[in-house]
Amino acid sequence: MKRVVIAGGGVVGISCALALQAEGHSVTVLEPGPVGEGASWASCGCIAVGEVVPLSQPGMLMKVPGWLLDPEAPLSLRPASALGLLPWFARFTANSIPSRMRAIATDLARLTFAATADFKAQLEDIGAPELLMERPVIKLFDDERDKATMGAAFDLACELGCTIDDISGQEAHEIDPAIAADFKYASVLRDWSFVTDPKRLVQVLMETFVQRGGTVLPKACAGFERDGARLTHVLAAGGGRLAADEVVIAAGTASKGLARQLGVRLQLEGVIGYSTALLDPGVDLKHTVFYPSGGFGITPYDDALAVAGTVEFAGLDAAPKWRRADVLVSRARRVLPGLQTERRERRMGRRPFTPDTRPVIGRSGKLANLCFATGHGQLGLTLGATTGRLVADVIAGRPQEPGISAFGPDRFSS
């Protein structure tokens, strides 16, 4: 049995905690925030199997001026942050060449195709199978041009094993009558599913961890003590010194600063997204639907309909621009004509994004007993349970699955 300290109790950190606890370790999680209100609270809730094509795509550089000029576009770059983001962006755009995109997609497919089984096993373990809704996701397109923007991504995802069916907009309306009848095309992503309440998911994971004897300290991780190439203690903000045989950094975007303290350079930025929970939506949507040209998805959670999306490059600490959330809501009636939007709650999440869209899972060569579990970008909810399983392998010293080394933290050092 090892004493494991985990910095961060979002969906990824708490999934690692449960997986390590199941192996008999004594686990402490440092989590300063309200449980369940990390980035996953603002998410679309999808178990996005086959969402493997990286964010960086050919022609990206040409689009940057447009991102700077239109603060309400689905993709935008805050001018004040542009300079600080340059090193990350340089690497990000380098990953848009077709051979790198394919390599990234292949690596992400390896992880996401395991996600549903891992997530179901996790839900079974915590006694909450109802948190997964096994219904495909529907993407909607106005016309040929609109649909063509997804063509290459869909082709690559299908080549890697994804099942995507093309249907007409009318058929989408028949599958889910809340959807407007006048879309020209739609695609049904058969492998996807969605979580019915992401905040509750993290809370139930945390409650189960505590019931089984795990410790949660409501404090931030502030630093570390080391003895040569081994960490010996984790320091909590405001006092507290925890002895550790193993340390896992799973603090979302804050992982970058914690890694820096240890001399590990993570290229990680927070890519902001917004979500508005509509509390009396007045429509009975059954599936998660995405409207890519509007830059948002709509998910029917247990207690609200969430309109979520946008990709805003704004650095790690930028304040939210709530106007962007409101723009999404105003566009959502295009998808759901009967939508009522009066009673609403807004949320913002920072997706922890690496420039190659791959998460960071594994050990750094710099420290013998440090493991990372961060950088999941738009896939943290999808890959939480899978990451927990992989981190448990790392800490047990079991042989890694083929291809997992592609997610190692030292790839940013060169």
Ligand X SMILES: Cc1cc2nc3c(=O)[nH]c(=O)nc-3n(C[C@H](O)[C@H](O)[C@H](O)COP(=O)(O)OP(=O)(O)OC[C@H]3O[C@@H](n4cnc5c(N)ncnc54)[C@H](O)[C@@H]3O)c2cc1C
* Site stretch for ligand X (CB under 6 A), options 53-61, 239-247, 279-287, 347-355: 347-355
* Site stretch for ligand X (CB under 6 A), options 124-132, 159-167, 176-184, 247-255: 247-255
Residue with Cβ nearer ligand X (16 or 283): 16
Shortest distance, position 358 Cβ to ligand X, whole Å: 13
Name residues contacting ligand X, limited to 2-31 (CB under 6 A): 7-13, 30-31
Q: Is 295 an interacting residue with respect to ligand X (CB under 6 A)?
A: no
**Of 277, 311, 271, whose CA–CA distance to 292 is shortest?**
311
* Site stretch for ligand X (CB under 6 A), options 43-51, 80-88, 329-337, 401-409: 43-51
Shortest distance, position 70 Cβ to ligand X, whole Å: 19
**Of 88, 27, 133, whose CA–CA distance to 314 is shortest?**
88
Residue with Cβ nearer ligand X (160 or 251): 251
**What beta strand segments (E) does 108-229 contain?**
132-133, 137-141, 164-168, 185-189, 193-195, 215-217, 221-227
Shortest distance, position 60 Cβ to ligand X, whole Å: 20
Q: Is 221 an interacting residue with respect to ligand X (CB under 6 A)?
A: yes
Relative to beta strand 241-243, strand 75-77 is: unpaired
Coil vs helix vs strand at 179: coil
Q: Is 388 an interacting residue with respect to ligand X (CB under 6 A)?
A: no
Q: Is 386 an interacting residue with respect to ligand X (CB under 6 A)?
A: no
Q: Is 42 an interacting residue with respect to ligand X (CB under 6 A)?
A: yes
Q: Could you say which of 50, 54, 294, 309 contacts ligand X (CB under 6 A)? A: 309
Write phi, then psi, for 314 (nearest 5 degrees): -140, 10
Residue with Cβ nearer ligand X (123 or 379): 379
Euclidean distance between CA atoms 359 and 162, whole angstroms: 20
Shortest distance, position 144 Cβ to ligand X, whole Å: 26
Q: Is 351 an interacting residue with respect to ligand X (CB under 6 A)?
A: yes
* Site stretch for ligand X (CB under 6 A), options 66-74, 146-154, 227-235, 251-259: 251-259
Euclidean distance between CA atoms 61 and 314, whole angstroms: 17
Residue with Cβ nearer ligand X (88 or 174): 88
Q: Is 292 an interacting residue with respect to ligand X (CB under 6 A)?
A: no
Q: Is 116 an interacting residue with respect to ligand X (CB under 6 A)?
A: no
Q: Is 40 an interacting residue with respect to ligand X (CB under 6 A)?
A: yes
Q: Please tell me what DSSP assigns to residue 26.
A: E
Q: In this structure, are residues 107 and 403 in contact, taking their beta carbons and an 8 Å threshold?
A: yes
Torsion of CA 108, 109, 115, 118, to 10 degrees: -100
Shortest distance, position 27 Cβ to ligand X, whole Å: 14
Polymer length in residues for the chain: 414
Shortest distance, position 34 Cβ to ligand X, whole Å: 8
Q: Residues with Cβ < 8 Å from 332, sequence gap 6 or more?
A: 294, 296, 298, 307, 339, 341
* Site stretch for ligand X (CB under 6 A), options 45-53, 84-92, 177-185, 396-404: 45-53
Q: Which long-range contacts (CB under 8 A, 24 or more apart) does 330-336 make?
A: 331/291, 331/294, 331/296, 332/294, 332/296, 332/298, 332/307, 334/180, 334/291, 334/294, 335/140, 335/179, 335/180, 335/289, 335/291, 335/294, 335/298, 336/178, 336/179, 336/180, 336/281, 336/283, 336/285, 336/298
Shortest distance, position 348 Cβ to ligand X, whole Å: 7
Binding site for ligand X (CB under 6 A): 7-13, 30-33, 38-40, 42-46, 48, 220-221, 251-252, 254, 273, 275, 308-309, 349, 351-352, 374, 376-382
